A and B are shown apart, each in its own frame.
Chain A
Amino acid sequence: MNMAEKAVKGTAFVHPIPASEESVPEIVIRPRPGWIAINWQELWEARELLYFLVLRDVAVRYKQTVLGVGWAVLQPIFSMLVFTAIFGNFAKMPSDGIPYPLFVYAGLLPWMFFSNAVSGASQSLVNQQALLTKIYLPRLFVPAASVGSGIVDLAVSFVVFALMMVFYRVPVGWNVLLFPLLVLMVALAAIGVGLTLAAVTVTYRDFRYVIPFMIQAWMYLSPVIYPVSLVPQKWQWLLALNPLAGLIDAFRSSLLGKPWNMQTLCISTVSAIVLLIYGLFYFRKTERRFADVA
């Protein structure tokens, strides 16, 4: 290598291409017809946004209420008392040999989490239109945050459940270890349904009025106040297409030691995952029109 070559290489070394040059993000904006894949990398990079959105929803939920987070306890307790009085005492609803208050509360835990998450998520975009029309962010996070913030309510109302278990002297078994997994499954189902409903509500505001009725009907299609065993064996698979059916039943198995019903749990798990995937893709597909119609 002669001196001239060295000098040239030296110069190149003195003025290197900045390291960032390699990683300069390039954003290409063009019309994208059809289905759009989920950008996991973008979601991962913006994960702090999800955290702050959840934190906001949690912080704001019971602001300027006298009882504050007490409402997270009182809501399921009131429902439990009403259902116990009507279905437990008057209608003599069977409850798989479990005391009815405990039975219904174990069903209300996942149900209230799911229904609050779905109704919150479905309104989340129309209630925060500026997030659609004034800024770009991973919009999937907006409904997802509504689901995430429901976990706090679930945790608080679970404390009451734990106290009830002590009161009724229900032994705690190893099955309880599966509880977090079941909560995750309910959350995934809620995200799937929430994303779909949030996306349709942006375009068709009719759903603001439809969703409350839908959720009410959904509760009666889920084994909250009645056991799965009330449904004839050969029709249980049909009930289990509702992801909440198998999951609520599994909540009772995990917490109250009721035998597992593997058939409904498997069908419901698959159904929850299908709803999640559908929700994700439907949201991605319709997302491009949000700012135009919001």
Chain B
Amino acid sequence: MNSTAISVENLSKVYQLAHLSRRHQTFREALTDMALAPIRRFRQLSGTDDSLEDFWALKDVSFSVQRGEVVGIVGRNGAGKSTLLKVLSRIVEPTEGQAILRGRVASLLEVGTGFHPELSGRENIYLNGSILGMRKREVDAKFDQIAAFAEIEKFLDTPVKRYSSGMYVRLAFSVAAHLDPEILIVDEVLAVGDAEFQARCLGKMKELSTGGDRTVLFVSHNMAAVRTLCTRGILLSKGRVSMVDTADAIVDAYMAPVSHGSSATLELTRPKGARIWMTQAVIVGDVGPTTSVAMGSKLKIKVKFETDDPILVPRLGYVVQTAVGECIINSNNRYQPSAGFSSPVSSGYVEADLGTVPLMPGRYTVSLWLGDNGMIDHHVVPEALIFDVIERDLWGLGQLPPRASAMWWPTEFRFSSG
């Protein structure tokens, strides 16, 4: 008797990335390029363009999962979690390697796939159920439970386009939650609906995964959920498996303070075709380069750049995201008055001074973008830098604001009688 439910061997998936490095010196060049564009696009679309750069979304991923295990897959944005689930769900074909799944598989990468707004709740339950792989008699048998869990019994014959978004999501999750597969593959679907419903979803997930014989692969940014639901964890990073351990150990590793080797400085290389590029990036706190700052500290992002053609105003953009991938700051000197150098330079520093950033304790990532005045993305580095904000009793009151948001805000409260 083979108790291995999923075995994955050297699974790899490559995507081809197009480079937008064309720049026209003359009107004639622009015209020629426009005329040749259909040929170029045809080669790109048909996958016969050799100038495309290979990007390995997954590289030599191997692991195995025993029957009945609940495994959390953890990793930063772009680590390959979703690609892995798509390959295991048979949505995309791997480039190399193989995976063997033993048992009836259901995958849930999105709730409500195939819902039609014009159809009633009842019709959508049957349609979505059969899209997810349920037989009609299974849906018949579970119909009342599905409607009850979604709390939409009264609106079963109303077109779902008239549903509130909450009702819609509840119904969609409810259909999926009543699947009864041997292997369940779930992507971040718990991040829907209001807090109360999320708690119920989590409860339902727990119920599904403690059934004993069911094998679950679960991707989430919600570390608390991974800790509660999962028995084991897999940490992915840059398309590779970087750690397989208990769920707790994986979550700890994922949350642990980062170290970029010995220094906080990130060294960068020139991407193919870029005319302006970063060679170094660093976060500077109150006392210099760092990967962790206390609440209320001042923060700067400093980038060293080089360029082929001397430039007056390099454009630097940055995006700060929370550990769960929420974008909280987006800034670029392209969209605001910006001084620049007094005469063109071919290398130098750009410093983005954020001032005092009212971030709550937690982990944040910084993605960087560097360009000139054109619309070309010369150098883009997603999640280039990582920093942690450490708790600090800002006002000496012996208490911290509740962690209900990504930011506290330096607010002045004024009072007047009346």
- A-side residues, CB < 8 A to B, are 17, 21, 24-32, 46, 48-49, 51-53, 55-56, 59-60, 63-64, 128, 130-137, 203-204, 288-289, 291-293
Chain B residues lying within 8 Å of A46, measured Cβ to Cβ, are 130, 133
Contact present for B101 and A29 (CB under 8 Å) = yes
Number of residues from B at the complex interface, CB < 8 A:
44
Chain A residues lying within 8 Å of B119, measured Cβ to Cβ, are 56, 59-60
Residue B352, interface by CB 8 Å: no
Residue B1, interface by CB 8 Å: yes
- B-side residues, CB < 8 A to A, are 1, 15, 42, 45-47, 86-105, 107, 109-110, 113-114, 116, 118-119, 123, 126-127, 130-133, 135-136, 182
Contact present for B87 and A135 (CB under 8 Å) = no
The CA-CA distance from A133 to B107 in the complex, in Å, is 12
Chain A residues lying within 8 Å of B46, measured Cβ to Cβ, are 203
Q: Which residue of B is nearest A27, CB measured?
A: B101
Contact present for A133 and B91 (CB under 8 Å) = yes
CB distance from A100 to the nearest CB of B (A): 39
Contact present for A135 and B101 (CB under 8 Å) = no
A selection of 20 A-B contacts at a CB cut-off of 8 Å is A26-B102, A29-B99, A29-B100, A29-B101, A30-B97, A30-B99, A31-B95, A48-B136, A49-B130, A52-B127, A55-B127, A59-B119, A63-B118, A128-B114, A134-B110, A135-B91, A135-B107, A135-B113, A136-B90, A203-B46
Contact present for B92 and A292 (CB under 8 Å) = yes
The CA-CA distance from A131 to B133 in the complex, in Å, is 13
Contact present for A27 and B131 (CB under 8 Å) = no
Chain A residues lying within 8 Å of B102, measured Cβ to Cβ, are 24-27
Which 7 pairs of residues, A with B, have the shortest CB-CB distance?
A30-B98, A136-B90, A288-B93, A29-B99, A134-B110, A27-B101, A49-B130
The CA-CA distance from A55 to B131 in the complex, in Å, is 13
CB distance from B306 to the nearest CB of A (A): 35
CB distance from B359 to the nearest CB of A (A): 33
The CA-CA distance from A292 to B97 in the complex, in Å, is 18
Contact present for B90 and A29 (CB under 8 Å) = yes
The CA-CA distance from A210 to B357 in the complex, in Å, is 54
Q: Which residue of A is nearest B108, CB measured?
A: A135
Chain B residues lying within 8 Å of A291, measured Cβ to Cβ, are 86, 91-92
CB distance from A236 to the nearest CB of B (A): 37
CB distance from B394 to the nearest CB of A (A): 44
Q: Which residue of B is nearest A289, CB measured?
A: B47
CB distance from A44 to the nearest CB of B (A): 13
Contact present for A131 and B123 (CB under 8 Å) = no
Contact present for B1 and A17 (CB under 8 Å) = yes
* Other 18 A-B pairs with CB < 8 A, given A48-B130, A56-B123: A21-B1, A24-B102, A27-B102, A28-B99, A29-B90, A29-B99, A32-B93, A46-B130, A48-B135, A48-B136, A52-B126, A55-B123, A60-B119, A132-B91, A134-B91, A134-B113, A135-B109, A135-B110
Chain B residues lying within 8 Å of A53, measured Cβ to Cβ, are 127
CB distance from B270 to the nearest CB of A (A): 28
Complex partner residue of B127 from A26, A56, A288, CB under 8 angstroms = A56
CB distance from B25 to the nearest CB of A (A): 30
Chain A residues lying within 8 Å of B103, measured Cβ to Cβ, are 24-25
CB distance from B199 to the nearest CB of A (A): 25
Q: Which residue of B is nearest A64, CB measured?
A: B118
Contact present for A203 and B45 (CB under 8 Å) = yes
Contact present for B98 and A29 (CB under 8 Å) = yes
The CA-CA distance from A133 to B150 in the complex, in Å, is 25
Chain A residues lying within 8 Å of B45, measured Cβ to Cβ, are 203-204, 293
CB distance from B122 to the nearest CB of A (A): 11
CB distance from A68 to the nearest CB of B (A): 13
Complex partner residue of A130 from B90, B105, B110, B127, CB under 8 angstroms = B110
Chain A residues lying within 8 Å of B118, measured Cβ to Cβ, are 59-60, 63-64
